[in-house]
Every structure is written in C-alpha cells, then in structure tokens.
Chains A and B, each alone.
Chain A
C-alpha cells in the first residue's frame, strides 16, 4: 500500500504554493482578451497574381505581427481577414468616409510583397463578437455549479461521517485546477502574447467537469472502504483507496491525454491553445483528486488545520512575548 496520506503536508504545501502563484499571476497580469472580445478591423483581400492558400495567408499575417488574425476563405483566392483594431481604422460609429493612411497599408504592402498583386476591399471596424460579460456570466455559472456539486456530494456521501467535508474538498480541488490553468494563461498572455477566446471558456469548463468527475470516483472508493470496515483509521482508508484507484485514475487521464496530445502534435495550429488548456487542466485534475482533495480530507479529519493554526498563533504570541 502506498502511503499518500503520510506525505500530505508535502502535497498540500506544493499545491497551495502553485495555487498562490497562479492566483497572483492572474491578479497582476490578467488574461489577454482575444479578438472575439474586443472591437477589431476586417478587410477582404483578393489575390490576382497567383493562387494563395489559407495557410500561407495566415503565416504571412503572423510574420507581419498579427498573430491574432483570423483568416477565412471567401470565394476563390479571396480571403476575409479579421485582426485587432488597426491604427487609423474608421471609427465604429462613423458613416462611410474617406480612408486614412494607417496600419492597413503596411499589411497590404507586406502581403503584396509576398504574394504579388492583390486588391483590398471593405476595410471596416467591427464591434466585439461577444461581450466580455460572457466571461463574467460563465464565472457566475461556475460558482453556482460549485455550490450545486457541493450539495450533491454532501447528499450522495451521507452514509459516511461528515459528508460536507467531501463536497468542500472536491470544490476546493476544482478551484485549484481552474486557477492553475487561468494563472498559466495569464503568464502566457504576459510573456508570449497568448490571447484567450470563447473556446477557452469552454475548455476551462471541460477541465472543471473532468476534475469533479475524477475526484468523485476517488471519493467513492473511500466511501466503500469505510463502509466495508467502519473502524479503519481514516488515513489508512484513504491510502488503501488511493492505491486501489491509482491504476484507474492514471489510465483514464492517459486516454484523454493521448487524444489531446495526438491533436496537439498533428492537429491544426489554430486550436493549440485550446488543447493546452485541456492538457494542463486534465493533468492537474488527476493530480488534485489524489493529492489535494483526498489529502484535504485527511488533514481535516485529523484536525491538522486547527493544530497548524494553533501552532502559528502560539509562535506569534511567543514572538510578541520575547522582547518584553
């Protein structure tokens, strides 16, 4: 039997440290909203000299410093391009008017240099596709869902003593996973310019779903172990359950990770960030069911937290006393 519970302070401190780092990066850097959340510019380019593929246009826009550009085919050899708002683009509320020279000319020149003659049309500014309120509403939804999960686990685990703790531990593990992914993307946004889009929100929701799922399966085993042997010490019950479910936990994540990694390696580059969220989140979700949710339970059952805070308080009182 592997001794997970004995090393719980290691797991919990490391997880807490990662969580704090993630939460701080999220607070400081924040997420960089993608073009779906901000107003932007669109224009149509028709190449008249040679056939240009969608991938080539995307690469060219990338090289011109518009990594965020969205390129869609719109007829033969004609592309509809959406970028962040370019300098000197017409104002959103303006009527049609004369066009000012600006960044659009640089892009046009860059594309012409690479692909030869082209014509550009319909340069305009567009409002955001979805308002950033969606992100806020999704957060509300997640908070509401967390409460519902807490209550459900509370009821589903009513056969064990203190079932509320199971629900709370599962929700804390979920928050841990969500924050790791959010923190990672805040860092990537700051240092690599990675933007988050609408699909990012659903990827986070996927991670949350997976994390709860995984945690409940592990908890279910603890429930069964306790049911079969009500006098088993709690630490031992958790260790036995972890050992028994370890193969299953790893195999399940492995199957999802296999799919995601395959898609990351040979799939299209436009969905890589999306897959990165899934990959990191699923690994974090598996880790957190074993090392966060279950260890929190053990620590809680053993009254570790009370002892920890008492000791902290005791130390600070001693410190206060010493100089006197």
Chain B
C-alpha cells in the first residue's frame, strides 16, 4: 500500500541518505575508490563547527608524534621519575579533555614522554600539548603592574603556579552564578593563605584585591578575593557553566609537576601501515558487495531492497561517526562490522518471516506486515541486550581508563540504533514503495514459489492483494 505517509518517509530517507553521502564523501576519494574521476568531498563547516575530515585513530591514519623532554629548573629537587609519571597523566588528561581520544602516551627513557595524537596536524598537537604548560597566578602590584602572586615559605619567596593546585577542580552552580571549586596542595595552601590575606587588606574596588589566573600570558579569570583561602576555595563569577567547566579543565591541565619542552615533532603514518589499511578498506568493500550479492541471489527482490537499505545504513552511520565526531579505530571497525551483521540480520529475520507467511498463502501486503510484526520481538530483545552490554562497557571504559573499550561501546551502540531504524523503517518503506508496482505481482522475485505446493490458491491471493492494496 503506497500511502502518502509511505511516500513521505521514502523521500525523507532519500534526503537523509543524500545528506549523509555529501557529509561523509572522502576528501581524497582516490585513496578508497578505483579511478580518479571522483569529486573531492568537502565535509561540512558551519562557522567554527567544522567536520571536514573523518576522525581516524592512530592505527588507521597516524597523527602527530611529539617527544617531550622534562626540563626541570636548575634547583629542582623532586624525584624526576615520579614527576614524569604524573606529568604523563596530566598530558593524557589534557589530550582527552580536548576531545581527542585514544592517544598513545608513553614514558620514555632519558626523562621523556612520547605522545602520539591521532588526527591532529603537528601545529595543533603542539598547541594542545605544548602551549598549556604554564599556569600562573598573578596579582597587581602597587604600580598597577601584573606580577606573579607569591608567598614566603621558610624565608624563600615562591610563586604560586598550577602545580600548587590539585588536579581535582570542578565546576559548580552556585545560585544563579557558576564557580570553579579547587583544592590546594600543602605548599599551595600556605601560599594561597598569604596571597589572599594580602589581597583582602585592600577594598574590593582596588585592583590589588584581584587574583588573576593566567595561562601562557592569556588571562583566564580575574576575580576579587572575598575571603581567606588556604586548603580549598572557589573562583566565582563565571558567566556560564561551560565557561566554568573550561576554566576547571584548564586549571587541571595546567598543573604540571615539571615543565616539559617539545624536543621533536613529526607526523607519523598509521600504526597498522598505510598499505595495510588501504588493502583492508578495499577488502571491506569487496566484503560488503559479497554480502549484497548473497542477499540478492537468496532473497531476490527483497534482497535488492535490503542491499539498498544497507547502503543507506552505511551512509547514515558513517555520517553520525563523522559529525559526533567519533575517532574510528580498528576496534570501531569491529563494532561496525558487527552492527552491519546486526542490520542484515534484522532484514533476514523479517524476510524469512515474510516468506513463511507468503507460503502459508497470505497476501503480500499482509505478509509484509506480519513479517515485520513477528520479527520485531526478536529484533527488540537482541538489540536491547546489545545496548545493555554497550552501556556497561562504556561505563567501565570511562571509569577504568580503558578508552578502547569505551570507544568500542559507543560505536556499537550508535550502529545498533541506526540498524534498527534501517531494518524497520527503511526496508519496510522500500518494500511498500514496491507494492503498487507490477514487480510485486511476481512471486519469483520474492523467492516464495514453493507456495504452489503448500497452498495452491496463494498465487491468486497474492494478486488480489494488489487489488486490495490499490483499492
């Protein structure tokens, strides 16, 4: 039955697919497709929001490789080994907080840290990792000049830096305004105590009452001191939660235990090998074609429609991966292959049911409806269980630092959700679009010929379905 709503859904699917293909079309198609006449994809860009390339992980595309050397001041007294361990953690969090996932960070001999970040240019990586090295606290001196906020401990004047703040700051709503809550280290609490006492001796209109947080000579926050702070405090007056949240991230990231300098920066290729990745992409295409060929040979017309639905599914899924964006790695591809299997499975379930119903002598229209209704409970239960697994894996991945597990879970969950849409809505709409056409009268095309043996009147019934459908 080709009702208006079917046509409407069909047009929506077509438009969505066209949009997806435009979004995901690769910027260098010759890498993946034979021939060189393909247009170059541009992705989409709306102001600052840019999704021009698919984010691929280190294993598939490579990225920027940086070696950071610990650069302790001459009078450095701490244990460099431990400092490097925590510096590694800081770099790790810094990279993750800015939305780049699955970077590879190693402690390296010679007091170094080596970092590989996927999908960033060298410059971007250096900006991200290198630039945020120095977080400072500043005050105005008597001459209205910005100077480092400092205190005196054991007769020595020490400047307060990011290292004196614990890495556990967080943003919070306070009434209608927003604040960043922080805790100081033991040295930080002594310094902060002296700095805030001094600031409080001036009225709040005096600039000397201000405490300024600076990151690489950029003022992050300027707040007046309203009470003595030692162990913990708040920076209030942030305009929005996201602003407070950003400040909190920067405070966390800025708390480097030892200065690091970049001694080497290079772009590196995929860890799996460029050649190997391209071979695998080609193999994946062959695999997908084989699946489609199989579906068409076995299920005939519904197979053709399911193959079309599969293409729609692939385009939409890749579009979502690109827009979110999700860093696609080999693990993500495993999830993707599995979700393709799940998408195809849903179609197979429905078609097998449809065939059974046709053989029992139902009309095509009824067979489609019953096929979908009967297959629904198994599609629902199997997919819900997969989504439950994804939720648990995501939660564990996030809490136990297993980014790879987390990425896998997210990729799979997106794949499963879209596969349900594809199998239920897309395939059914395609089938219904075919219903009104002469194609639908041919039982050969539905591979339901055995119908003659089991129910002699079925073919006639199939044809009357058209009359009913068109009525």
Contacts and interface: CB of A to CB of B under 8 A. Distances in A.
The answer to whether A and B interact is yes
Interface of A: 42, 53-55, 58, 70-75, 80, 89-96, 122, 124-130, 133-134, 137-138, 140-141, 144-145, 148-149, 152-153, 156, 198-199, 201-203, 205-206, 208-210, 212-214, 216-217, 220-221, 223-224, 244-245, 247-248, 251-252, 254-256, 258-271, 274, 278, 282
A124 B109 contact: yes
B273 A213 contact: no
Contacts of B385: 149, 152-153, 212-213, 216
Contact of B337 (A149, A254, A268, A278): A278
Interface size on B, as a range, is 35 or more
A260 B337 contact: yes
Given A126-B106, A263-B287, A278-B334, A268 B277 contact: yes
Given A145-B388, A152-B384, A205-B408, A268 B400 contact: no
B242 interface: no
28 contacts: A42-B114, A58-B273, A71-B273, A72-B273, A74-B266, A90-B109, A95-B111, A124-B110, A126-B106, A129-B105, A130-B402, A130-B404, A138-B396, A144-B392, A148-B388, A152-B384, A199-B331, A199-B404, A202-B331, A202-B335, A213-B342, A259-B340, A260-B337, A262-B284, A266-B282, A266-B286, A267-B280, A270-B272
Contacts of B404: 130, 134, 198-199, 201-202
Contacts of A259: 284, 287-288, 290-291, 337, 340-341
Given A252-B345, A266-B282, A266-B283, A274 B269 contact: no
B203 to A, nearest CB: 52
A245 B81 CA distance: 60
B273 A54 contact: yes
Given A138-B405, A145-B393, 9 more contacts: A42-B108, A54-B269, A75-B266, A137-B400, A199-B59, A202-B334, A212-B382, A220-B378, A262-B287
B155 interface: no
Q: 7 closest A-B pairs (Cβ-Cβ)?
A: A268-B276, A259-B287, A73-B269, A267-B283, A220-B378, A202-B331, A262-B287
B348 A268 contact: no
A137 B288 contact: no
A205 to B, nearest CB: 6
Interface string B94-106: 0000000000111
A58 B273 CA distance: 9
A220 B109 contact: no
Contacts of A274: 330, 334
Nearest to A259: B287
Contacts of B287: 258-263
Interface of B: 59, 62, 65, 67, 81, 88, 104-112, 114, 264, 266-280, 282-284, 286-288, 290-291, 294-295, 298, 329-331, 334-335, 337-338, 340-342, 344-345, 348-349, 352, 356, 374, 377-378, 381-386, 388-389, 392-393, 396-397, 400-402, 404-405, 408, 412
Contact of A267 (B279, B392, B397): B279
A72 B386 contact: no
A217 B381 CA distance: 8
A243 to B, nearest CB: 12
A258 B294 contact: yes
Contacts of B271: 70, 72
Contacts of B401: 133-134, 137
A315 to B, nearest CB: 40
Contacts of A251: 294, 298, 348
A124 B113 CA distance: 11
Contacts of B88: 127
Contacts of B108: 42, 92, 124-127
A203 B404 CA distance: 11
Nearest to B349: A248
A92 B106 CA distance: 10
B373 to A, nearest CB: 11
A295 to B, nearest CB: 19
A271 B330 contact: yes
B382 A217 contact: yes
B405 to A, nearest CB: 6
